[in-house]
Amino acid sequence: MKFFKGNHLAVKVGDLESTARFYRDIVGLDVIREVKLEDGEKIIFLKGLEIHQKNEEELKNKSDSFGNSFFHFGIEVESIDKVLENLKKEKTFPEVKYDEMKFEEINQKAKFAFFSDPDGMTVEIVEWVKI
């Protein structure tokens, strides 16, 4: 059986710079490149995540292309404790739901936490630990 290996997730956000700072400084994703298109749109590419600034029309319209079916996206991190420590330093510390789950068939456990990013999208961070 083949498994899909995702490359990235692209999202449109209300505040491009604030969101980029959040994922770079708090979550720990490396910025790969920043591109400015001919029409003036700026795109910031982080490892596994591409962020675009919403245009004025999109900012007025509160719905998004995910509709009601989008739940969350997950990011594997090296240290969940470091990310949670970074979150606690934020002025607007989001509510965090933390848990662990053992997967004995692969001798690992997942340490994971859910929280909201600056645009209200639900993010899951996961650290895999050998047991």
Read off the pTM: 0.68
Q: Which letter does DSSP use for residue 48 in this model? A: T
pLDDT at 28: 93
Question: What's the whole-number mean pLDDT along residues 77-99?
Answer: 89
69: pLDDT confidence band, cut at 50, 70 and 90? Answer: very low
pLDDT of residue 103: 86
Q: Which residue has the higher pLDDT, 43 or 70?
A: 43
Domains of the chain: 9-62+71-130 (3.10.180.10)
Tell me the pLDDT of the chain averaged across its residues. 84
Is residue 35 a contact partner of residue 20, using CB atoms and an 8 Å limit?
Answer: no
Encoded tokens for 101: 């789950």
- State the pLDDT at residue 6: 56
